Amino acid sequence: MEFTEFYRSERDRCLRAVLAGVADRQVAEDLVAEAFTRAWMSWHKVRRHPAPRAWVVRTALNLRVSWWRRHRREVDLGDGPVDTADGTGEPGGGLDPALLRLLRALPPRQREVIAFRVFLDLDTAATAKALGMAPGTVTAHLSRAIATLRGHLVVNHSQEQS
């Protein structure tokens, strides 16, 4: 597969995965753009990677961590509003703003596991390899994240029906 074809077919999927991890549309777009730029520059290696889109998302999330480490003393990363507008009228590129808020409340590793397992549809082994953790750790983070999300969603759904 050539890079142009890869970019066209995987950009939106990668963006949704990163958006789930960072919950800020503009930041996610910047991170994905930079990650795809790096993929293009190293395409001869990335194309042979077992999961190139996982490489892009992992790179984007690593860029976010690197940025945060450099700027953590300068920028308050509090719980500000979640920016999900994409100019198409669909919040968060098709993601519900309430779900994005819930995802943002999860611990970072749980958000990353959700991004790889759910948004990129990778299996446990591929997710573990991409995130540099044991498969059991992926399963544990996914289980905790789903339990937390289910708790919030079921409570909200029950309240709506009352």
Mean pLDDT calculated for residue range 16-32: 88
CA distance to 1, 80, 111, 146, per residue, from 56 (Å):
15, 26, 16, 24
Mean pLDDT calculated for residue range 137-158: 83
What pLDDT shows up at residue 104? 84
Tell me, what CATH number does 145's domain have? 1.20.140
Domain count, the chain: 1
What pLDDT shows up at residue 24? 82
What pLDDT shows up at residue 118? 87
Under the banding of pLDDT at 50, 70 and 90, the label for residue 79 is very low
| Verdict on whether the full-model pTM lies above 0.85 | no
The pLDDT of residue 66 is above 80? no
* Alpha helices by DSSP H, the chain: 3-22, 25-41, 43-46, 52-71, 97-105, 108-114, 124-131, 135-161
Domain of residue 10, residue span: 3-161
What pLDDT shows up at residue 23? 74
Which of 68-72, 106-110, 133-137 has the least mean pLDDT? 68-72
The pLDDT of residue 53 is above 50? yes
